[in-house]
Amino acid sequence: MAVCIPSLDDISLFKTPPTEGEYRLLKFLSNALDDSYQVFFQPHLNGLQPDIVIVRQHHGVFIIEVKDYEIPLYEYEFAKSWKVYDGIKKEQSIRSPFYQVLSYKDAMFQLFLRTANEALVLHSKNFAIISTAVFFSKAHDAQMKPLLDKRNRSEKWITCLTADDLDDCNRFMKKLPVYLREETSSLFTDDIYQEITRVLSPTERIRHLRSRQVIHYTKEQKNLIQSLPAHEIKVGGVAGSGKTLVLTQRAVHAYERTQSPILIVGFNITLNNYIRDYISRLRGTAPMRDFTIIHYHALRRYYDIQKKYKVILVDEVQDFEKEWIKDLRNNWLDKSDNDWEIVFFWDMAQDIYGRAGQGKKEKEPYTGIKGQSNQLKASFRLQSHIAEFSNAFQSRFFVNFKPEPIIPMNNIFDDSQISYYHTDSLDCEEIYSMYRMLVEVPNDASYLPNDNDIVFLGTRVAPVRLLDAFFRKKKYRTTTTFETQELYEQICSQYADTEISNQLKSLRRPRKFNFWPESGTIKLSTIHSFKGWEMETVFLLIDNTISNSQGMYETDEEDTHITPYLLLTAFTRAIKNLIIIEIGDSVYTRFFQTYVTGRE
């Protein structure tokens, strides 16, 4: 049997299940092909998602796009377009499925397969490494003939598969490219094979977020996810302890209890999508429209203060000012009956804005609730090496306030890595080499890093903005929380110095609001905007230099002051790999050198 990636069992757990045609073809391929074939289902390629990609080492690649079209409703329009008659409108144009699958092939060469693309530049025959097909699951050969006769020259090289081909295994095998079923290909080298399997392999986060798997809660979490009437509670937790999971599951239970809209409010704009995804996985039959997930300033600016909520959950409350908490309690919480509930979540070690008593005696942020907080002390995100490093750092640099030590739970098979590099100036080429080394020669042979699992975090915008420009020049697609370097330079040339900061704020706000790490792209962000998220691999750029040429027009929340709280927040975003790149010297330099060198 072919090796399906993910497995058919995992695919059956996807939030969006495969279509009838996709599942039928997957089952057929699984049985018809032997285990020398790998069948990838809907790999995440920089926002592109071909339905099925077949790979066979020493042979080649076959991309199949699946369409469950009722063929009598479709008509060829021109090279890149078909017409469809949908019964409501007379007709509308859609993208040709043949052009669509061909665009996947082009993208794989131009964007993802560096080794294959270099080979293609040297000789055009290497284009044959990848072949393409479209499978029309509800069509028969005779129905397809009028459409196929009108195809242009480039589309005629694309195989057309129909339901007839799945009735006979021998017939189907004859439709496969000859190099894929019989002859080996000298063009499909081991380097290209390893590169393409790395690119196609599901990322850890996509695999987790797609599934509807059962979640196992700890005893502490089980107690905290229960929604209770006329109740107020505060929950503290270390990085990776499941605060977001508890928050979202409690929100769902609160909706089930009250049958009324739920307000989830935070400070970090980019966390909205993260929380929204958790809600979508956990909400069951609860309508998504009844969960308002918003950052505090947008709530105040755009929402009707006359609309009150029986249940409010506040995330990252250490980022809130005291007056904001009072506003939520007095103006947004509906206490007209005993159904009300308000819950606060916090982590004082991530008090990067200094609003919760940083450097003072306060051990908790203001919530208006007396007594001690409930605590989540075990981290399910961090492995031992990164947790120990973080604990050592906070023990050394947190003077007046000592956060709870992080207790890692994932320490049985700890394969996490910490690296440290010191440089006098930003060297994008060198950082790019580090990135290529990571993805091409991983420390763990069983783990193939995917771009979707990698983030570059900066203490300031300027260095990661320049790095973003560098990667885009290398033809990588990126996802950022800030403007491009080109747009930044344009803003600086058009506006007075006093206006630039406000212009940048207005540019960054929608980027943060739409920031979605599951994009399949390389991600670049400030630490501030990535707080609350997690990633398999974190490249951390600590920029201790001050240079107007790199941009000093930072916004208020992205101040250039590098505090221990800011760095600890960055360290604890990493699940597996933490690569620290320090530009210039700081009070932290000797600690980094001593700690990392000692571990090596």
Does some domain include residue 209? no
Residues 333 and 401 in one domain: no
What backbone phi and psi angles, to 5 degrees, belong to 419? -130, 150
Q: DSSP readout, 222-273? A: HHHT---SSEEEEEEE-TTSSHHHHHHHHHHHHHHHH-S-EEEEES-TTHHH
Does some domain include residue 211? no
Does some domain include residue 214? no
Residues 399 and 303 in one domain: no
Residues 311 and 435 in one domain: no
∠ CA 537-538-542, nearest 5°, is: 160
Question: In this structure, what CATH number is given to the domain that contains residue 497?
Answer: 3.40.50.300
Residues 156 and 110 in one domain: yes
Among 108-122, 422-436, 534-548, 562-576, the minimum mean pLDDT is found in: 108-122
Residue 514, pLDDT above cutoff 80? no
CB atoms under 10 Å from CB of 13, counted, come to: 15
Q: Which residues pair with 135 in a beta bridge?
A: 66, 161
pLDDT of residue 193: 86
pLDDT tens for each residue of 123-175: 677 778 889 999 999 989 888 888 888 777 777 788 899 999 998 888 999 88
Classify strands 52-56 and 341-346 as parallel, antiparallel or unpaired: unpaired
Tokens of 317: 């409350």
Tokens of 494: 């058009």
Residues 261 and 195 in one domain: no
Sequence-distant (6+) residues with CB within 8 A of 285 are none
Average the pLDDT over 534-558 and give the result: 72
Residues 404 and 373 in one domain: no
Query: How many domains, in total, are found in the chain?
Result: 3
Residues 136 and 230 in one domain: no
Does some domain include residue 443? yes
Residues 320 and 192 in one domain: no
Q: Which helix (H) or strand (E) holds 215?
A: none
pLDDT of residue 600: 43
Average the pLDDT over 272-279 and give the result: 85
Tokens of 423: 């440089």
Residues 399 and 374 in one domain: no
d(CA 384, CA 10): 29
For residue 193, the enclosing domain spans: 3-200
Does some domain include residue 213? no
Does some domain include residue 508? yes
Tokens of 593: 């050198």
Among 271-275, 357-361, 562-566, the minimum mean pLDDT is found in: 357-361
Residues 17 and 113 in one domain: yes
Residue 24, pLDDT above cutoff 90? yes
Average the pLDDT over 76-99 and give the result: 76
For residue 373, the number of C-alpha atoms closer than 13 Å in the C-beta half-sphere is 23
Does some domain include residue 205? no
Residues 402 and 502 in one domain: yes
pLDDT of residue 468: 97
Residues 226 and 356 in one domain: yes
Final residue of a structural domain among 147, 168, 200: 200
d(CA 386, CA 359): 24
Q: Do residues 344 and 356 make contact, with C-beta atoms less than 8 angstroms apart?
A: no
pLDDT of residue 511: 81
Coil, helix or strand for 172? Answer: helix
pLDDT tens for each residue of 355-395: 765 445 557 889 999 888 898 888 877 778 888 899 999 99
Spell out where 308-466 has E strands. Answer: 311-314, 341-346, 374-376, 378-383, 407-410, 417-423, 454-458
Tokens of 581: 């790149």
d(CA 121, CA 74): 37
Which spans in 93-168 are helix H? Answer: 97-107, 114-122, 141-148
pLDDT tens for each residue of 199-251: 787 655 545 555 555 677 888 999 999 999 999 999 998 888 889 999 999 99
Sequence-distant (6+) residues with CB within 8 A of 34 are 1, 2
Q: Do residues 45 and 171 make contact, with C-beta atoms less than 8 angstroms apart?
A: no
Tokens of 422: 């010191």
d(CA 265, CA 246): 15
Final residue of a structural domain among 133, 165, 200: 200
Sequence-distant (6+) residues with CB within 8 A of 12 are none
Which spans in 485-526 are helix H? Answer: 485-494, 497-513
Q: Is 54 exposed, middle or buried (0-12, 13-18, 19+ CB in 10 A)?
A: buried
Of the candidates 421, 477, 471, 418, the residue with the CA atom closest to the CA atom of residue 452:
477
Final residue of a structural domain among 356, 379, 402: 379
Which one has a higher pLDDT value, 460 or 15?
460
Of the candidates 236, 261, 267, the residue with the CA atom closest to the CA atom of residue 340:
261
Q: What is the pTM of this model?
A: 0.68
Q: Do residues 250 and 286 make contact, with C-beta atoms less than 8 angstroms apart?
A: no
Does some domain include residue 335? yes
- The amino acid at 323: E
